[in-house]
Structures are given as structure tokens and as C-alpha cells.
Structure 1
């Protein structure tokens, strides 16, 4: 059994489109390597800071990821290596273990698919793109009712707020 504690720089960006461990960021590895009958069992934790953007308002999001790993690396010519497909189990090659693919897979599964800057993030206005958190409750847009669009075009009526063809539920009732 061997205990390994190292801090390494992420060789590439590790994660998802919206949030990831950036290339060059420090990644803390606290791993335990144990010799078992069919290979080397690697267990331990991987910790790193993450950066990305909120999927609702596109503001920067930072955080950290803490992943627990458990992976068996099969010895060359072991029964495990001979009885499993190549993509089902990791293998020891030239007396070396490559934990990078395990870290990449584990971090990708741990990160949120839709990171948020905060749980109650309102996102962006679908009309003008302003952040709803700073726009205020009075933020709105007057939208021409599509049922009146042809008539409005015929008479050259715009979409000004004073226009009576504007979609207004109070006037329709």
C-alpha cells in the first residue's frame, strides 16, 4: 500500500461546457494505491477550484469540486485483464498508472449540468437580455399581439406603448 498526496496543475480544462477546472489550476490528489490480487486499487479524493458561468444569467460562477475515486487498474496478463473488454477496466501499462482519465470522468459526473450563480437566479429578460436581478419588478415590454400584426402593418401603426393594438389583457376583457 502506498499513500500519495500531490498538488498538480490540470493539464487541460476538465469538466463541462458551463463549468470546469481550468487548465493550469491546482488539483489536489490524496490517493491510496493498494496492491490486490488482480491489479492496483486506487482510492482517494481529488479537490480543485472550478470556474464557469451561470446558465440563467451568464454571470461568472466559482466553486470547488471534491470527488472520491475508486478504480481498479488491472495487472498485465491478469485474469481480470483477459476477461474484460478494453473499455471496461483500466490497465497498468509499463508499470505506470494513468489516473488522468479517471479524474476527468469523475469530475465530469460530479459537476452540475446547469450551474447557477444562486438558487433563485431569475436569468435574463427574453426580450432585451438585461439581467432580471438588476432590472427590477417594473421591467416589462409592450408586445404587439400577433393577431393584430397584419392590420397594424396596413395602417403603419408601431408598437409604442400608447398603441391600442398592444397586447394588454386588461383591455381584452
Structure 2
């Protein structure tokens, strides 16, 4: 996903809008494999200011996930922001604000695939739910409580008082 910056650098235009689709089957990490259900869409713009070039984009993707409560497979939809400053590789010695995200470009072109993959990995939720009201599985019999109720006797005991229960047993 290369974007030509030559018109911005020559100041022929002050903004370049772009829409790119990145066709990924899966994204591999050290601990898991994320299988995409559709192409990753990146939509945004690169614009020129007095301080330099800036990127502002939205990355949207859908992937298969298992619910953290009921273990049902569903498609999770995520939309995340990708923004930062564009700096030419030959100008690395120039002082850059540490709080700013910086993307480097060469030969009037910026390659955004690595940045899109990084934004995907950073935006993955720790726990994904198929529904905000998901009841999960029964702790005793394992039935899906979204589909049917079970008759299991579940007593929730405060862990601080669990030792007292042992006195009565």
C-alpha cells in the first residue's frame, strides 16, 4: 500500500485522500492466529501543514473470534485510528516530539502496510464478547446459558469467608 507524496512535497496540493483495501487471510502473532473474514479497509488523508506532513486514517477490519464467555464463534468488527507525522528517512537527525507517532518515507513514497498491521495488533480487545448481554456457560454442567437455563446449584461464596464454611461442613 504505497502512497505517492510528490504532489504534497512539491506543494501542488495540500491534501491527498486515499482508500486502500489490504487483502489479508490471517495475521500471526506469537500467541495466536487472527483469521480475517474480509479485507482490511484503510481510509484517510495525508495533509501538509507548516510543521510538515501528517497522516490521519481509519483502519476497519473484521475477524473471526470466540466469545470469552460462551465460546461461540462470531465475526468481530473493529475500527481504529491511525495517525501521526510523516518524516523523510534522510531527516532522522531533526528533533521530533516523543509523544508523536512518526512514519518514515523514502523517495516521495510512504509504505503503510506495516503501520496498518501494527494498528490491528494494538486494537485487538483483550476479551471479545458475541453480545454485551452474553450469559456464558454454566460453571457446573457447561450448558450455554444463552440458549437454556440449567438447574445447577451454584453458591457464590465470598473468598474471604470461605474458610468459615469449612468449619460448618
Give the TM-score, by structure 1 length: 0.61
In the alignment, which of 62, 65, 73 is matched to residue 60 of structure 1? 73
Question: Structure 2 matches for 1:15-54, cutoff 5 A?
Answer: 20=34, 22=36, 25-36=38-49, 40-54=53-67
Is this contact kept in 1: 2:57–2:81, CA < 8 A?
A: yes
The change in CA–CA distance for 1:125 and 1:11 in structure 2 (over 3 A counts) is closer
Higher strand share: 2
1: CA distance, partners of 2:108 / 2:136: 51
In the alignment, which of 109, 121, 126 is matched to residue 96 of structure 1? 109
Give the TM-score, by structure 2 length: 0.62
- CA displacement, residues 94-130 of structure 1 (integer Å, 9 cap, x when unaligned): 4432222322333334342111112222222333433
Larger Rg: 1
Give the root-mean-square deviation of aligned CA atoms: 3.5
Aligned-residue offset at 1:4: 1.2
Unaligned residue ranges in structure 2 (runs of 5+): 1-14, 155-164
Instruction: Number of aligned residue pairs: give it.
Output: 139
Unaligned residue ranges in structure 1 (runs of 5+): 142-168
